[in-house]
Structure 1
Amino acid sequence: MAIFKIHHITNYQYDSPVVDSVNEIKVFPYSCPEQEVLQMELNISFSPDVQLFQDYWGNRCGLFSLLIPHKTLAIESKAVIRTTQSNQLKIDFHSDFQQLQEEKRNNLSLIELSYFEPVKNQETIDKIAMQLTENTNSVAMLVEQCCEYIFKRFKYVKGITTIETTVDEILDHQSGVCQDFAHLMLQILRTIGVPSRYVSGYICPNKNGMRGEGATHAWVEAYIPGYGWAGIDPTNNVWVTNTHVKLAIGRDFNDCSPVKGTFRGNAEQHLSVYVSVGYEDGHVFEGTNDVKQEPMFPFSHAIEASDHISTQQQ
């Protein structure tokens, strides 16, 4: 077990007043047996009423609006979280695809998360899938090999992809960040028929060299027959244990965006995201991501597109 103090601020600044800002936030730690929320504090500029609800995937969400003119908007969350998952995972490496098919039968959720839409370069995905399935009938082993394949063949490079980057573009770049690797792994696993889902959150390794430390992070959960959902991180080539804190799950990043919404106003915006992770030994990792915005069309601007760029999981 481990305890982490996570501080996350999404800050918008506008060069002229905007109004009618409506926002959906997913900054609440996900409720699951692998982690326990010891403390949670949410602060939003102008203290609007926040309507809480649970979405289709079980994520805790908040909805709020600001009708008054404003030139700044800050959304701050502070959480103290204890991760309870053991470092010694007892994943079933003996369960096979026949057992997977039996468990998927009549389970609409697993069937839905097995579905994939072919990409333009689906032929390359099919070749990767065929290569991975040649030497094993173990679902867990295949998932592990898929993770290793991405880790070894795709370079971790910041700044060359965005939230809009497609799987085809990732294949062309042969590089990207955690969000890209998660989307690629989902495409491969679903092509093979393994139910899998996108996970957003934080990685908290405390100076052990893992990539993505202190920032919002992304990984994959694959369904292993005889075990259930197992997190695996292709950015670091590891099964998820107690160094990952989960915020939201879904089919892809669009289901897990920390902040999205709209506003009205003829304004350009500047967006920055600050994240810090505090450890039990007193060490704190922190960083701020400033995003340069292109001028937007007046009167009906979308925060969603700009925020997606800034909060691309690293």
Structure 2
Amino acid sequence: MKLAITHTLLYDYSNDVRLEPHYLYLHPKQGPYLKVDQYSLQISPTPDFISKNVDSADNIQHIVFFNNSTRHLSIKAESIIEVTEFNPYSFIYHPFESSRLPIKYANDLNDSLQSYLNRKGVTTYVDQTARQIAASVNWDTSSFLSELNKFIHSFAYEIREEGDAYSPEKTLLERRGSCRDYSVLFMAMCRALGIASKFVSGYYFSDPNQPQYLHAWVNVYLPGGGWRGYDPTQNCLVSGRHIPLATSAMPNLISPIHGTFRGSAQSVFKAEVSVRKIEE
């Protein structure tokens, strides 16, 4: 399936400002089921320099440098990609003991996954709730992940385009949040039971006639299955309709745009996302 993606970000400032370097994560992340055919980046005011890098988590990162003052910042990222749908259940746990919780990774693998096992945000309440869900499915790993998806999906969903994700406990206590809040809670509850997990920022292709936004979900590392995606917002497994931009153990590191400005001004932010299928 071929998709055309347009992501526009607009900032208007009440006075002239000088833009500090801005970090962008707007390039689709290639993988076995995703190929990038075209990509373009349009920025106004015209940057003095753009550095294209691969960051510490193998994401494509652009760092944009500006010299002159401005009252606006406009960024448009356009891409054409090809995605292949796949069966997310097509794997066998190996070693088979990993099909039961808590997961214990082999020593070398455990060392390599440490940043994805960090228990920051795993409070007593988060840990106990995770264990209650696991016990309800007899500590079966796949069943726990599916039940966790369903549990968080039942919360009150809200659209919040700016700001950091809520803490896992806040989302759990209030039973509400955005897709990134759901994902951060999902990660914490997985890590409570020894499942390595990372945050994914990207897009989800569903009904092109509905409003579209930046999306977030979670990848978990399953022995024998590698990284597998779970989306508590949609209550589904990732199977070819999710388009990742970046992944990280720490969600705040991969915001689609991150930067500051110098000057005394108020800013107004607007974002638009379009993902549409190209008929072949």
Per the normalisation by structure 2, the TM-score is: 0.89
Aligned amino acid, residue 9 of structure 1: T
Any conservation in 2 of the 1:11–1:75 contact (CA below 8 Å)? yes
Any conservation in 2 of the 1:206–1:279 contact (CA below 8 Å)? no
SS at match of 1:215: coil
Higher relative contact order (CA 8 A, sep 6+): 2
SS at match of 1:150: helix
Distance change in 2, residues 1:132/1:172 (3 Å): closer
Which residue is equivalent to 1:219? 217
Correspondence for 1:150 among 141, 149, 152? 152
State the distance in 2 between where 1:123 and 1:13 align. Answer: 43
Aligned amino acid, residue 140 of structure 1: S
SS at match of 2:10: strand
- Deviations along 1:57-99, whole A, 9 cap, x unmatched? 1111011111101111111100011112415641436833389
Q: Does 1:183 align with 2:184?
A: yes
Which residue is equivalent to 1:19? 18
Distance apart, 1:9 and its partner CA: 0.8
State the distance in 1 between where 2:242 and 2:99 align. Answer: 31
Which residue is equivalent to 1:311? none
State the distance in 1 between where 2:193 and 2:209 align. Answer: 33
State the distance in 2 between where 1:118 and 1:157 align. Answer: 21
Which residue is equivalent to 1:30? 29
Any conservation in 2 of the 1:96–1:137 contact (CA below 8 Å)? no
Distance apart, 1:13 and its partner CA: 1.1
Q: Does 1:133 align with 2:134?
A: yes
- Deviations along 1:228-261, whole A, 9 cap, x unmatched? 0000100111111111101000023212100011
Which residue is equivalent to 1:8? 7
Which residue is equivalent to 2:51? 51
SS at match of 1:96: helix
Q: What are structure 2's unaligned runs of at least 5 residues?
A: none
Superposed counterparts of 1:1-314, under 5 Å? 2-48=1-47, 49-87=49-87, 89-92=89-92, 95-97=96-98, 100-103=103-106, 105-119=108-122, 122-134=123-135, 135-152=137-154, 154-158=155-159, 162-206=163-207, 214-281=212-279
SS at match of 2:81: strand
Distance change in 2, residues 1:82/1:46 (3 Å): same
State the distance in 1 between where 2:218 and 2:8 align. Answer: 24
State the distance in 1 between where 2:92 and 2:153 align. Answer: 22
- Deviations along 1:35-76, whole A, 9 cap, x unmatched? 100110111113322101111111110111111011111111
Aligned amino acid, residue 253 of structure 1: P
State the distance in 2 between where 1:92 and 1:106 align. Answer: 18
Distance apart, 1:160 and its partner CA: 11
Q: What are structure 1's unaligned runs of at least 5 residues?
A: 283-314
* Count of aligned pairs: 275
State the distance in 2 between where 1:232 and 1:12 align. Answer: 32
- Sequence identity percentage: 27
SS at match of 1:101: coil
State the distance in 2 between where 1:161 and 1:25 align. Answer: 15
Distance change in 2, residues 1:160/1:85 (3 Å): closer
State the distance in 1 between where 2:234 and 2:172 align. Answer: 18
